[in-house]
Structure 1
Amino acid sequence: METLYLLAGILLLVLCIIDFTWTTLWIDGGAGPITNRLSSSIWRLMRLIARKNSRLLSLAGPLVLSTTLLMWIVLLWVGWTFTFAGIEQSVSPSHGSDPVSWFDRFYFAGYLIFTLGNGDFSPLEGPVQIISIIATATGMLFITFGVTYLISILSAVTMKRSLAVSIHGLGESAEEIVRSAWNGEDYHDLNLLLASFSENLGSLAAQHAAYPVLHYYHAIDNTTAMPTAITVLDETLSIIKFAVPEKHHPNQLLLKEMRSSIDQYLDTLNQSFFKPSEEIPSLPDFHSLRNEGIPILLEKDYTLAYQQLETRRKKLLGGLEADSRPWPTDLK
């Protein structure tokens, strides 16, 4: 029986260390296998419970993060408890000679992991003392990397919402931004903004790849919602690139870099958070833009271009649906 306890303890510790290291240290690995399944399950449950309630759904991110941390603690703690239970007479009371119970082993393992000491119990002289040091080391590493992981995520969430606010500050729909950015001659005024947005979005995409829990941080207010902001921005660039004559475009390199950054962001999300929608979003209101004096290509030209954008726009709509948000439309 002790051998089974020891094997169970080692298995739990290995699972915990692999999942923890995978999630916190492997930048390109995304979430560990246990964390990924746990996060997805919590998100689906929260969407089922919250439905269209954004305030309730906004609890999903903090819940996923706290549950993940708790899961690691439980695996580490229980794993070391079973490990010490699997080693004959591994723990003895510092005073007295009462038999060691399961609760005593649980207490001893927790004391080693979180307080750097032995408490009222001490390890058996020999290999168990080395094992106790290893247990303490895993606890120190868990606390250090866990805090770093937590701070990194909260910083990324702040950056994500700040970028969304900046994009929404230009307009709540693609048509609105296209109208407001038109200076009467061209869209060169967008150059500085495109450079800034591209850099920030590239960093955000890398953070989403490194910390998949960011996918589950749902914003209550639409102005801080990144899925809506990305959709509005990409639709704005699509209108300018495929429906406005090229001589009026912003800097071509900046335009290409911005769309590449959006591609990178969408590909990061598409791996685990959402699937492209089966529906095709409606076309922008090109007639209202033409009525505003903005030069728009012939309908046959931009219609053909938008047929080639169907897969991309399905991804955008899929991201909105995963975040329980509608496709942004022009309210003018």
Structure 2
Amino acid sequence: MQPLFLLAGLVVLAAVIIDLLWTTLWVDGGSGPLSGRLTTGVWHGLRRATGDHPRALSLAGPIILALTLAMWIGLIWLGWTLLFAGGTAALVDSQTGDPATWAGRLYYVAYTMFTSGNGDYTPTSSVWELVSSFTTATGMAFVTLGVSYVLSVLGAVSEKRAFASDVTGLGERSEAFVRTSWTGGAAAADSEIDSRRPDGGRASEAQNPFSGLDLPLESLASQLSLLAEQHKSYPILHYYHSDQAAQASAVAVPILDDSLTLFRHGIPDEEQPNPTLIEDARTSVHRYLETLDTAFIDPAAEEPPAPELERLREEGIPTVSDEEFDAALEELSERRRKLLGVVRADAWEWPPAK
């Protein structure tokens, strides 16, 4: 018996199985201890090596995903090999009867993990036959689980980029997003007619100058809520970098949140869009920000640039005073520093996208 090899094999197997189950099945757990360190190490290494070149960083996600899967398979393979090395002649050559060498053990574990057939080596006792059965079970089960995880991540990447495209399609900065949503004079004329009604009531929802925003905003909030849950389940999504800012969720989320800030705090109450939809969308952003800890993304030390109300006034959009808006931004300091941290962690600059 070789106790040291037995212990090493058990430790390696325990570590990789915990990491694999942690990463793939524990929705609120984020990345496992091993895969999390691999992810951040590869990401920071690529950033230093490439100087934040967008095209090079777009390879980070596929590289990390491939290395994670390879790490899981490799460590399971190594763990079982060490375990078989711990036994006295646990495996023998089926033709010569000689004890298996290290190459023989690696070969035996490989075909036992991925097939259920017999090869050139056989276990020497019922105990090692049972160990071989566990080798086959873990190989097939965990490799299948790992591949399923990869496919789920790739599907989430497509949804992530679709969300970003939907946001930036309305505006590549928050002021442009608000200006695109403004229906302007037509709604203002309807509001004037409404103000002459005998009841003197407020304009109906149909006459609100931002009423056309309701459906897109509801859709974006729903997409972002799903994206937040996916980032919680698959923290590697934070490292799937797009080489185009218009398809980068790290750019799109700040644009959306600053737009919501303008709607909520920069526009007078009587002109604001549906407040329920605004709060729902802000809640979705909050859920997204809650996923940053699982990806080891920290808030920036300073606040990002504030949206410019003057850009809205140029389009005839009514706004509150600069002082009132600045006071509201002060209360959102921590939230906006987190968003700036997201932007910088993905190697982008604060919107407008460049």
TM-score (norm 1): 0.96
1:160-199: CA deviation from partner (whole Å, max 9, x where unpaired) = 0011011111111111111111012321211111111111
> What SS does the corresponding residue of 1:304 show, helix, strand or coil?
helix
What residue in structure 2 maps to residue 177 of structure 1? 177
What residue in structure 1 maps to residue 338 of structure 2? 315
What residue in structure 2 maps to residue 297 of structure 1? 320
- 1:96 lines up with 2:96 in the alignment: yes
> What SS does the corresponding residue of 1:92 show, helix, strand or coil?
strand
- 1:85 lines up with 2:85 in the alignment: yes
What residue in structure 1 maps to residue 17 of structure 2? 17
For the residues of structure 1 that align with 2:13 and 2:116, how far apart are their CA atoms? 18
Q: Which moved further from structure 2: 155-164 or 306-315?
A: 306-315
Structure 1 regions of 5+ residues with no counterpart? Answer: none
Superposed, 1:157-236 pairs within 5 Å as 157-184=157-184, 185=187, 186-236=209-259
Superposed, 1:234-313 pairs within 5 Å as 234-313=257-336
- 1:70 lines up with 2:70 in the alignment: yes
For the residues of structure 2 that align with 1:53 and 1:330, how far apart are their CA atoms? 15
Paired residue type of 2:38: L
Offset of 1:122 from its aligned partner?
Answer: 1.3
Offset of 1:200 from its aligned partner?
Answer: 1.1
In angstroms, what is the RMSD of aligned CA positions? 1.5
Residues 23 and 30, structure 1, Cα contact 8 Å, conserved in 2:
yes
Residues 174 and 330, structure 1, Cα contact 8 Å, conserved in 2:
no
Offset of 1:330 from its aligned partner?
Answer: 9.2
For the residues of structure 2 that align with 1:205 and 1:295, how far apart are their CA atoms? 33
Question: Which of the two has higher C-alpha Rg?
Answer: 2
Residues 13 and 75, structure 1, Cα contact 8 Å, conserved in 2:
yes
Structure 2 regions of 5+ residues with no counterpart? Answer: 188-208
For the residues of structure 2 that align with 1:195 and 1:157, how far apart are their CA atoms? 21
Aligned length: 331
> What SS does the corresponding residue of 1:169 show, helix, strand or coil?
helix
> What SS does the corresponding residue of 2:52 show, helix, strand or coil?
coil
> What SS does the corresponding residue of 2:92 show, helix, strand or coil?
strand
Offset of 1:125 from its aligned partner?
Answer: 3.2
Residues 215 and 273, structure 1, Cα contact 8 Å, conserved in 2:
no
Paired residue type of 1:276: P
For the residues of structure 2 that align with 1:286 and 1:183, how far apart are their CA atoms? 17
Offset of 1:271 from its aligned partner?
Answer: 4.0
> What SS does the corresponding residue of 2:352 show, helix, strand or coil?
coil
For the residues of structure 1 that align with 2:216 and 2:159, how far apart are their CA atoms? 16
Paired residue type of 1:290: R
Offset of 1:117 from its aligned partner?
Answer: 2.4
> What SS does the corresponding residue of 2:348 show, helix, strand or coil?
coil
> What SS does the corresponding residue of 1:295 show, helix, strand or coil?
coil
Residues 91 and 121, structure 1, Cα contact 8 Å, conserved in 2:
yes
TM-score (norm 2): 0.90
Identity %: 42
For the residues of structure 1 that align with 2:278 and 2:183, how far apart are their CA atoms? 17
